[in-house]
Structure 1
Amino acid sequence: MLKIIFLITVLLICLYTDIRSRKILNIVTIPTIVFSMVINVLGGGIEGLLYSGKGFFVGTGLLLIPYLLGGLGAGDVKLMAAIGALMGANFVFYSFIYTALIGGAIAIALIVKERGFWYPLKNLLFNLTFLRGNLGSMIITSDKKTSSISFPYGVAIVLGTFCTLIWGGF
């Protein structure tokens, strides 16, 4: 129960800072990782350390490639690593799945809001019709709408983690 209360507190702090300043702060994530390791070692000895370490590496690994490609910030990766260190590899994996679904839904909603419904649908149908397989061709910007769309991904991470807390895995 202590771990869940701690997790919810960390998530709410990160949600606030990510919405407010588009940053997930090291002063929150790094102590969370350290505290997670300590609490799991105290509760399970070497197995607790392995539990926490495996969760940390799974959480980091899931978002490392999007981070390296420039799609996410380092704070997002550290938040997912902290969630994994605290709650374990299975929990962070399910959180990642929920996060990806929620993040995709948010992205689609923002694209439709920014560019309208028909433009993205027309591009999708065009790409499917002519079997254009590369990822860069899936979103083509028009001449008059070249702005990029972004949102604080910490929101999706927090919502995905809450979904895992409520519903668990599949």
Structure 2
Amino acid sequence: MVYSILGIVLLISFITDVRNRRILNIVTFPAMGVGLVYYTMTLGLKGFLFSGAGLLVGFTLLLIPYLLGGMGAGDVKLLAAIGALTGTSFVLHSFFYTALIGGIIGLFLILKRMSLWKYVTSPTYAVYALMNMKGLTINKESKLTYPYGVAITFGTLCAAFLGGVV
């Protein structure tokens, strides 16, 4: 049951983040509540602590990037909801995969923004560019952003299907 709810939360959050660049409170807060209530009802105090610890760990992992302006509050609440539904160990694995996937997405976007993608896709062009050092500029005024809910969704799916590496 919990993983079905997690799947629905991830799907809705993925869609709303891609379309509107928002992860909705109406999705994340009920998911947190469901995790806390479900584990409390099935395991008592131990279940409440399991879910509560997952929620706090998920929230804490993205709090500093949020405070530094690197992501939105919805991303933080989504990882907290994942923690409430799955516990501490799973949310740590999810975070590891999320950071890895987020970094790869960010790298591709930076390469594209800097017009370096053509150098990566064509080895001959890369050698020419390195010899002449042209085309290596980036517009520093423009902020590079993307919906991080995409990385969180895929990171969580990797944790679910590939297991832990932490």
Q: Normalising by structure 2, what TM-score? A: 0.85
**Corresponding residue for 1:160?**
155
Structure 1 residue 99, shift from structure 2 partner:
0.2
Structure 2: give runs of 5+ residues left out of the alignment. Answer: 121-135
Q: What percent of counterpart residues are identical?
A: 53
**What is the one-letter code of the residue matched to 1:48?**
G
Structure 1 residue 117, shift from structure 2 partner:
2.1
Structure 1 residue 149, shift from structure 2 partner:
1.0
Question: Which aligned runs of 4 or more in structure 1 are off by greater than 2 angstroms?
Answer: 141-146
**What is the one-letter code of the residue matched to 2:84?**
A
Matched, 1:150 2:145: yes
**Corresponding residue for 2:19?**
20
Q: Distance in 2 between matches of 1:105 and 1:116?
A: 17
Q: Is the Cα–Cα contact under 8 Å of residues 36 and 86 in structure 1 kept in the other structure?
A: yes
Q: Distance in 2 between matches of 1:149 and 1:22?
A: 14
Q: Distance in 2 between matches of 1:23 and 1:145?
A: 25
**What is the one-letter code of the residue matched to 1:27?**
I
Q: How many residues align?
A: 150
Structure 1: give runs of 5+ residues left out of the alignment. Answer: 122-140
Q: Normalising by structure 1, what TM-score? A: 0.83
**Corresponding residue for 2:41?**
42
Q: Is the Cα–Cα contact under 8 Å of residues 115 and 145 in structure 1 kept in the other structure?
A: no
